[in-house]
């Protein structure tokens, strides 16, 4: 509950499946205007980009679960994003479990942590996708959001590292650019305190909704997104 009284609102946005735009050509429409269609398509993409740049920001709260501290030598096992409007309306979510990278190995410290969290481990190993498929699905999802996606995480330096690396490695692009909002840093500024005094145990109780933090990526992404929106609201009231 927001402010112990306002629930997170959920609005589902169902994207059209990939390839839908090409159905008319596949069904045998006159291929003559292909060059013109290409020009119009590019113009539409530019227009869409401009429109999104002036639309509402979509706060994409994201959590990753990994088997080590950095991508490449280690793998992202699971990740999830919860897309919020500023007023804490949850408009869409995305989650995926991933197959491990070739020639990558779990870090011993992380492997030991997973042994202490068997339920979360089981959840992140259920029906994993090849990384390329998962990240292309994610890229498509991000592009269907009705505004500019803003990456939000706690801590952003860790989660963004993996998501950015995987997006660039497997899709060649990232709608986030090189931008991310770190919730702890935002709390530091909002509370006017030192970084060491801005961790979760120092935050006001009314910033937290009654939501699980289970180390299952989607649970954590939703919980941290609600926390961030509560902080946004308080900042506006100051």
Residues 6+ apart with CB under 8 A from 59: 83, 84, 85, 86, 150, 152, 181, 225, 228, 229, 232
pLDDT at 33: 43
Instruction: Please name the fold of domain 38-237.
Output: Nucleotidyltransferase; domain 5 (3.30.420)
Please check whether residue 60 is in contact with residue 151, taking contact to mean a CB–CB distance below 8 angstroms: yes
Helices (H), the chain: 23-26, 34-53, 108-115, 118-124, 131-144, 156-171, 183-191, 217-237
Distance CA 184, CA 19 (A): 40
**pLDDT tens by residue, the chain, 238 residues:** 444 445 455 554 444 334 323 222 233 334 344 444 444 456 566 555 555 556 789 999 999 999 999 999 999 999 999 999 999 999 999 999 999 999 999 999 999 999 999 999 999 999 999 999 999 999 999 999 999 999 999 999 999 999 999 999 999 999 999 999 999 999 999 999 999 999 999 999 999 999 999 999 999 999 999 999 999 999 998 7
| Structure-block tokens of residue 214 | 């289970």
List the chain domain ranges.
Answer: 38-237
């Amino acid at each position: 509950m927001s402010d112990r009284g306002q629930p997170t609102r959920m609005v589902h946005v169902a994207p059209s499946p990939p390839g839908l735009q090409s159905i008319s050509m596949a069904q045998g429409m006159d291929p003559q205007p292909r060059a013109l269609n290409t020009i119009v398509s590019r113009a539409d993409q530019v227009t869409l980009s401009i429109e999104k740049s002036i639309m509402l920001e979509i706060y994409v709260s994201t959590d990753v679960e990994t088997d080590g501290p950095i991508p490449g030598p280690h793998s992202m096992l699971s990740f999830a994003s919860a897309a919020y409007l500023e007023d804490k309306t949850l408009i869409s979510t995305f989650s995926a479990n991933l197959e491990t990278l070739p020639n990558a190995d779990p870090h011993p410290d992380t492997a030991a942590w997973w042994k202490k969290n068997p339920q979360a481990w089981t959840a992140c190993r259920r029906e994993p996708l090849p990384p390329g498929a998962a990240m292309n699905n994610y890229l498509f999802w991000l592009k269907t959001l009705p505004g500019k996606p803003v990456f939000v995480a706690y801590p952003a330096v860790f989660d963004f590292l993996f998501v950015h690396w995987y997006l660039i490695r497997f899709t060649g692009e990232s709608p986030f650019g090189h931008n991310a909002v770190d919730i702890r840093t935002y709390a530091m500024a909002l509370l006017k305190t030192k970084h060491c005094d801005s961790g979760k145990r120092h935050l006001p109780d009314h910033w937290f909704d009654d939501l699980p933090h289970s180390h299952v990526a989607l649970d954590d992404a939703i919980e941290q997104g609600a926390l961030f929106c509560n902080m946004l609201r308080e900042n506006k009231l100051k």
